[in-house]
Structure 1
Amino acid sequence: MEESYSIGELLRVDSDIPDWSTNVTAVNGRNHTGVSFCDIVFYTMIFLSLITGLVGLVGNAIVLRFLGFHMHRNAFSVYILNLAGADFLFMYFQIVHSLLFILEIFYSIPTGIYTFSFVVSNFAYLCGLNILSAISIERCLSVMWPIWYRCHRPRHTSAVICTLVWFLSLLLSLLDWTACGYLSGSLGLGWCQTLHYITTAWLILLFVVLLGSSLALMVTIFCGSRRIPVTRLYVTIVCTVLVFLFFGLPFGIYYFLLSWIENFDDFLSCYFLPLTRILSCFNSCANPIIYFLVGSIRHHRFQRNTLKLLLQRAMQDTPEEE
């Protein structure tokens, strides 16, 4: 691997992956297919990402429709609305990214299109992670210090935080695009590495905050001195955080930490890169499913109701009567 990457070069890593592994050969060593095993893995993951992305796009569009136009919003539903928006944007450009790789089999695709879809995907990913961390922190505060939370929380905190998250994520993505894609020479390399360090440090901080606030919330609820009822909103938040830690986090680990490390194992990248893409698609696709599943459970039974009612129940922050 070269010592430095521009954004365009990093994007081309995806296209160069099939060359990193040896071709599938017969026992006698002759190549009958001309297709590498890495090719097979890579394009299988691309097709799966495309299918998962379409499902997630529809699910998040439904959440956006109900929360945006048909339901009364509270502090946490504002966060969920913005999280669905970030997931929708991420899924849309992951679909675009997958289609570009499929079309490249037959046509030559300009690098600029890859660059744009890559930058917007990273922007949406950063937004989603920041919003999820804000949800977890605010929920933790509301449970651990309920009186202080109700008395001192500004009315429009959720909207202000989400606006700042979108702005800062966009700014960081544009700076990364400019420094790593258009600046040349030692100046561009220096700024690119600095931005990578900043982004990586921010991701690590968000991960620690997300994990720490979630653990503190669980300890407070289950081991605290006072009894705190578990509401549907709590279940929704915990499930969303757990799904992100298992499926969404590898995407950030690869693109912001491993992809620019010098002498990173190319053979491992052959499998880890497409795997992180499909796992991130699973993460964004799973969030609407979580909302509707949590909303459909009533007294340990699943009930069929309208999607709007299920979404309202998933946002419910009051204990249910038995």
Structure 2
Amino acid sequence: MTIYNHILTENDFIEQDDLRYPFEERGLQFGDGIYEVIRVYDGKYYLIDEHVGRLYRSAAAVKINVPYKKEDMYKRLDELLEKNGVEGDAKVYLQITRGSAPRDHAFPADTDANLYAYVKDLPRPTELMREGVTAITQDDVRWDWCYIKSLNLLPNVLAKQAAKEQGSFEAILHKNGEVTECSSSNVYYVRDGSVYTHPAKKNILHGCVRMRIEAFCNQENIEFNEAPFLVEDIQYADELFLSSSTAEVMPILKVDGQTVGDGTPGPVTRTLQKCYEQEAGIPENKSIFSSQSATD
């Protein structure tokens, strides 16, 4: 994976090796910050408006002053791709913290936020999207305001690690048996051709791709229900899938070792994958439905 050299900070672009965190950085000491991961296809952002909008909503929710106005943020993010000569598929990680100040739980006075963003190559996970993945279930022990895309991700990290240790791709989180989302993605239940997913309340992240899933369902006359389902309902699912900016639309074929549906990616998931590829402008030779892609 290529790690591009130029990083966007609140002041200018710097060489990656020159990045130094102040010792008392609130993002490091308190997780006092927010972030976004933005997908790039063929050198162009996908869902940039949705990501930038959510960034500013998260900042407002935790009372962080973003160093740029929105129009300037768009400009600087474009410059980040241009400066690094990005032409392929990649991701941009963008983080803003409350700043650097002597350690104290209370907000520091007259302290500027710290911002940086970097870009990395990120090929599409075509084989996983084509063949499907497995998942486990885990208790959702995160805080109640998951709609804020904050740096406080330790419960997510532990859940993802538990999935990895069991040879699975993702951990499906639940509170008292009611499925919320996954450690780093939203999750959907399909029954009799209808899609169900947890309502966009404060206890889940309002995923940018999740918004598009709803739009794709409306476009394809697939019933989309913001209604929670239970872990015990998974055994009756015809299909199960997840979505995120890096995983796109990913079929889930097994949960806790139990097969979902007939054990293959279902027609609703496939339809939504096609919608995603069409909107994102994925060329035919990179499509998961292309024989050429299958041999890449």
TM-score by length of 2: 0.27
Structure with a larger share of its residues in strand: 2
Structure with a larger share of its residues in helix: 1
Query: Which has the larger Rg?
Result: 1
Bigger relative contact order, structure 1 or 2, given CA contacts below 8 A and separation 6+?
Answer: 1
